[in-house]
Amino acid sequence: MHRELRDVPQAVSTGALPPPARIDRIVEAAHSRYLPLEDGAVADYIPVLAAADPDLFAVAVTETDGDVHEVGDVGDRFTIQSISKAFVFALACEAHGHMVLRERVGVDNTGLPFNSVIAMELGDGHPRNPMVNAGALATTALVPGATPAEQWERVRTGLSRFAGRSLELDGEAYHSEMLTNHRNRALAQLLESYGRVEVDPVSLVDVYTRQCSLRVTAHDLAVMGATLADGGVNPVTGERVVSGQTARDTLAVLASTGMYERSGTWMFEVGLPAKSGVAGGIVAIAPGKGAIGTFSPRLDSAGNSVRGQRATAYLSRALGLNLFASAAHAEPGQRSGPGERSAPGDEQSMARKTGSGEDRTA
């Protein structure tokens, strides 16, 4: 939290999801609507990713009460890739606090591709945001641990707590990426040259590549996201994984940077903090309500899953998740004039406000 507001308690403002049977129907509809879509291409810059089955498609929603609604290939495993950046950011934030992450890694969009070297060079080697590779490396460097092996274990167990099950490394994906990740090695060396990391850059890239190679399912992503939606408590296991403040900070950073250089367009169209990865996963989070996990390997030119984006946009709209959508309290003509307004805190006025909120989300 910003120091200046330390004495002000964090109040929350969230609504409710529709009833469970309606969520089931909407999740089914999102899946069947976009199943025929074959636009985009599977990532191939990491050799093993090129072998993914492009037809796989999964949609999962986890509510903050732990209920899960899912359809399609929800049990198929894929590598988490860049989506790990969101959860490793949460672990680093939990260990060091809001201001350290804000100052050392940054929270602003670079407007440039995720593996850009120029973005770093333009700002004296400051990585600028934790969702691009430079900032993700700087974030992983902040994960507590005396050795890279300890840091890796902390990452693996931390992300497992978000998922509510023990996540394992996809050894083939890890080795495949280690053969081709010259650019990430260059970014880590640059971070070191600017004095931005205090760990060995070679080991740092190793831990980072492992974190990207953790195997997850769309179901896992929905549970991981729902933990951020639920103030840091995993709604399925009941375990507190991070503080409410860390969950909020993580979502705030995703809102501006989670969907690569298309984050602004994403927010404009979908209105939810989200993170995607090049293996085809996307997690989108509705604070206080739940999260959406999707998986479909065909990507657009920015690296975001085509079907995953469309299904998430559909769900955001149909389930009433868009953070910026509102309905008028009263239509023009039905409004009471300023003079007739009930006093703030007036019981009738409060009841009306609560009632209208429930109507909208039912």
What's the burial of 329, exposed, middle or buried (CB within 10 Å: 0-12/13-18/19+)?
exposed
Examine the residue annotation and report whether 233 is marked as an active-site residue of this protein.
no
Examine the residue annotation and report whether 314 is marked as an active-site residue of this protein.
no
Q: Given 27, 34, 84, 85, which residue is catalytic?
A: 85
- Amino acid residing at 285: I
Q: Fill in the per-residue mask, 28 to 67: x = in contact with ligand GLU (CB under 6 A), - = not in contact.
A: ----------------------------------------
Cβ neighbours of residue 248 under 8 Å, at least 6 residues apart?
10, 287
CB of 132 to ligand GLU, least distance (A): 9
Interacting residues with ligand GLU between 176 and 215 (CB under 6 A): 177, 184, 212
Q: Given 88, 260, 275, 306, which residue is catalytic?
A: 260
What's CA 273's distance to the chain center, in Å?
A: 6
Examine the residue annotation and report whether 8 is marked as an active-site residue of this protein.
no
Give the nearer residue to ligand GLU in terms of CB position, either 180 or 356. 180
CB of 21 to ligand GLU, least distance (A): 35
Among 114, 152, 162, 314, binds ligand GLU (CB under 6 A): 114
CA distance 201 to 179: 16
Interacting residues with ligand GLU between 131 and 170 (CB under 6 A): 133
> Is 303 a binder of ligand GLU (CB under 6 A)?
yes
Sign of CA dihedral 89, 90, 94, 99: positive
Examine the residue annotation and report whether 216 is marked as an active-site residue of this protein.
no
> Is 297 a binder of ligand GLU (CB under 6 A)?
no
Sign of CA dihedral 5, 134, 280, 308: positive
Task: Supply 181's token pair.
Answer: 């990740």
CA distance 3 to 7: 9
Give the nearer residue to ligand GLU in terms of CB position, either 16 or 178. 178
Interacting residues with ligand GLU between 3 and 32 (CB under 6 A): none
- In the block, tokens 């690569």 appear at 260
Examine the residue annotation and report whether 336 is marked as an active-site residue of this protein.
no
- In the block, tokens 């969702």 appear at 131
Among 42, 120, 242, 278, binds ligand GLU (CB under 6 A): 278
Task: Supply 281's token pair.
Answer: 């996963």
**What are the distances in angstroms from CA 153 to CA 39, 176, 239, 256, 300?**
37, 21, 19, 29, 33
CA distance 71 to 218: 10
> Is 82 a binder of ligand GLU (CB under 6 A)?
yes
CA distance 33 to 254: 27
> Is 308 a binder of ligand GLU (CB under 6 A)?
no
> Is 277 a binder of ligand GLU (CB under 6 A)?
yes
What's the burial of 328, exposed, middle or buried (CB within 10 Å: 0-12/13-18/19+)?
exposed
Q: Given 48, 82, 155, 174, which residue is catalytic?
A: 82
> Is 280 a binder of ligand GLU (CB under 6 A)?
no
Judged by CB under 6 A, how many residues of this single chain contact ligand GLU? Answer: 11
Active-site positions read 82, 85, 208, 260, 278
Which residues contact ligand GLU by CB under 6 A?
81-82, 114-115, 133, 177, 184, 212, 277-278, 303
